[in-house]
Amino acid sequence: MKKIIFSAIALMAAVVMSAQNKSMVDTVYSISEVEVVDFSRKKVEIGKLDVPIEYLPMTINTVSFKDLEIRGITNIEDAVKFLPGVRMQTSYGAFQTLTVRGFNYTPIMVDGIRDERTMINSYPVADLTDIESMELLKGPASVLYGQSVIGGVLNIVRKSPTPYNVVNARMAYGSWENKQATMDFGGKLYKSVNYRALLNYADQNGWRDNGNKRFSGYFALASKIDATSNIDVRGGFNRDWYGTEIGLPPNITNDVYSKDGTLFLQKGQMQSGLNRESRYNSQSDFFQNYGWNVTMKYDKKFGDNLKLQNYASYYDDDINYFGTESLKYLESNDAIYDHFYLTKNKAGDEIRKYICLDTVYLASPLRFSHMAKTFSNQFDLSGSFYTGSIKHNFIGGYTFSQMNRNSYTGYNLAPVNDPLNSKYDVYGPGLYSHLAVNNPQSMGYMNTSFSKANITKSYMHSIYFQDLVELDDKWKVMLAGRYDFFKYMRATAPTYDGERQYHRSEQTAYSINNTSSFTYRAGVVYIPTKDLSLYGSMASFFNPYRDFYAENVIYVDANGNRFFPTAGKEIFKPQTGYQGELGVRYNLGKYAQATGSVFYIIKNNEKKTLKTGVVDEDGITKSVVGQVGSSESKGFDLDITVFPAQGLNVMLGYAYTDATIRDLKTNEYMETETQKGNMLTGVPKNTFFAAANYLIQKGVFKNLGFVATASSMDKVYRNTDNTSEYPSYWLVDMGVSYKLKNNVRLSANVNNVFDKEYFNQSLGSQMVPSMPRNFLLTMAYSLR
């Protein structure tokens, strides 16, 4: 099937590239490629207000699809390197979490619609072949987009329908059988109806034999209904398959000694001689993500100063996953292996635990599935009015969203002494099978089924109002407020036939969590000259919890005191906090543009596990969880683009982020604040990129282009004790391209030019090696 899809798209692309359609040539005129830069006062969708970006007291960075396209970038983890202060964590093959300004689970939006999945777990992000740009609003933005917007929010802007004929075809081939094919069309469909249509397919063996495959499509229609009304309808789908990723055998969390007592491996040190390409996954592992979506936007103008807009969307997402996950070494209390580490027995005595470093076994595979269906509707009224000589640009409205998410789990593993027992969720000859550390081979399949359904529903009702006041040409003031009502419901049920289905009659009653919060933004902008704007703002956020009462947990409140919550009700108040920010924008016409800002963010009401194994008064062994933590992030970021010569542009970005544990309320279950002041996990203190694009404009080498990118990621701590880390690294990517007279462009890109060995993800202590040097050859045709 994959060969049929790829061949069909590739054939379409080849036909388009070779076709000589006279009627199209007669009616469509291609402009010679000359770098034209327009830094006039542009607007961004993420700010919501219909004003130039210079009027907004907030930091917004953008990345255009053009800068990604000429580098062969179609994945979000590669694209975010052009956004300073941002890190994308990819786990288990494709589960992704975005961290901005020190805080993770950053919401991701598509055309201004929140992907509600990212509020609960990490999720795959579809390919970027259908996008026009990415916009990143940094800092808290709950007043704009509701709960959980702490470090920022990323908006992916898809390609819009166009009245002009557009034809883009692309075929690419790269390292490890990386094959890609994309077709993109646009133009007038009928009278005032414009369209955009795109298909993309990618298939790659992968340098670690992941075998990722992606197939996606996008279609959009836009039409002017009458002189004052417009409608825009868009739909997309993705059918993606990822090879799960569990990394290399684990780094031991203790010092490891040889039998004679000499140190063999330091705590956390990786074994020498491991093959970075070796794959330890079971042959039964798989990861599928199927989804589709449809949106409809309607707007109507009432004169020049008032517009009504309604924006409805529906997203359907299906994740189906089975992964080997944890690898463990063979261990024994007897001296039957060549190495050992020191540990303590139940009596507290230090003993030797002997370990076999030549063999691992598949200890705890994980089977689950998430099926999420999300409906949202935004209704707002925007426009402008005057009070005397003062102009007000406003927007106000109501937003509703509902996500129904059913999660199915198969966590019951057959016992070690009976791995073929089919009464359990996971069984088969591959369960607990042993693999050689060097040259691992799969030792058999595993069968899986589901036994439990977790049924959840999330509701959000929000009312909001923003007013950007233009006091005069130099001073702008923003005042914005929003009130959110959040409701979360959860129930469970057994599945039947081991499939993703359950009987409602067997479902438990819903536990319900209701909470609400008011958030705000207040800011001021000063524009001393037309090229320079200075801004400052204060903004707040809230992030509700989604957990319920459990009998094996002791609860501690924000004051450090134990309390007894009601079963089925809200336990902890939402996380809250604020940001203070000062920034500057400089716009020197067609020569340069720069944005810089300093910020300080505080997050309160954080939940921490304070202690485990506590025997309570009722005799039950419990964990202690308290809402006693707070964290802070402070730093600055800088984003610069300059055009020193025709056809040449240079982009620079740098961010310094000092994100730390700020405070832990003292309580009887925590004797010392050992983690206070530690860096937050997953946050690099320094990030940097420099990128250059150069297209020769005239002469013998006209239309010959070059691109280069250098990026740096500081070390990233992997645990709150700050005892393990991903080391810092530098990467360099380069590319060259040439545009033929028939609008065909040939390009070659080399990533990780200096073949740097580095790590940017892991599964526990199982480190996942990042991709070595690789290439991508592309042939593309463009007529627009």
Question: What average pLDDT values come out for the chain (784 residues) when binned by 10 residues?
Answer: 54 49 35 40 77 95 95 96 95 93 94 85 91 96 91 96 96 98 97 97 94 97 97 98 95 94 95 94 96 98 96 98 95 96 90 96 96 97 97 97 97 97 97 95 95 97 98 97 96 96 95 94 97 97 91 90 85 94 94 97 93 88 92 98 96 98 84 84 97 96 97 96 95 98 96 97 94 98 84
Instruction: Using CB atoms within 10 Å of the CB of residue 710, give its burial: 0 to 12 exposed, 13 to 18 middle, 19+ buried.
Output: middle
Cα 235 from Cα 233, distance rounded (Å): 7
Q: Is residue 40 part of a domain?
A: no
Dihedral sign, Cα of residue 119, residue 123, residue 126, residue 127: positive
The maximal CA–CA distance of the chain, rounded, in angstroms, is 89
Q: Is residue 36 part of a domain?
A: no
Query: If you count them, how many residues does the chain have?
Result: 784
Q: Is residue 38 part of a domain?
A: no
Residue 2 pLDDT = 52
Residue 31 pLDDT = 33
Q: Is residue 24 part of a domain?
A: no
Residue 419 pLDDT = 97
Structure token pair of residue 332: 């024994």
Place of tokens 């002189």: 227
Residue 23 pLDDT = 36
If residue 26 lies in a helix (H) or strand (E), which one and from where to where? helix 22-27
- Total domain count for the chain? 1
Query: Residue 327: CB partners within 8 Å, gap ≥ 6?
Result: 246, 249, 250, 280, 360, 361, 362, 363, 435, 766
Residue 35 pLDDT = 41
Cα 4 from Cα 123, distance rounded (Å): 28
Q: Is residue 29 part of a domain?
A: no
Q: Is residue 498 part of a domain?
A: yes
* Helix segments in 71-126, DSSP class H: 76-79
Domain encompassing residue 386: 1-16+47-783
Residue 33 pLDDT = 40
DSSP state letter for 29: -
- Long-range CB contacts for residues 39-47, cutoff 8 Å, separation at least 24: 39/587, 39/588, 39/589, 39/590, 39/593, 44/135, 45/111, 45/112, 45/135, 45/155, 45/157, 46/109, 46/112, 46/135, 46/136, 46/137, 46/144, 46/153, 46/155, 47/137, 47/144
**Amino acid, single-letter form, for residue 29:** Y
Residue 709's domain is classified under what CATH number?
2.40.170.20
Contact 143, 153 (CB under 8 A): no
Q: Is residue 550 part of a domain?
A: yes
How much is the pTM?
0.92
Cα 340 from Cα 256, distance rounded (Å): 6
Q: Is residue 41 part of a domain?
A: no
Residue 13 pLDDT = 52
Residue 570 pLDDT = 84
Cα 507 from Cα 481, distance rounded (Å): 39
Cα 534 from Cα 524, distance rounded (Å): 8
Residue 3 pLDDT = 57
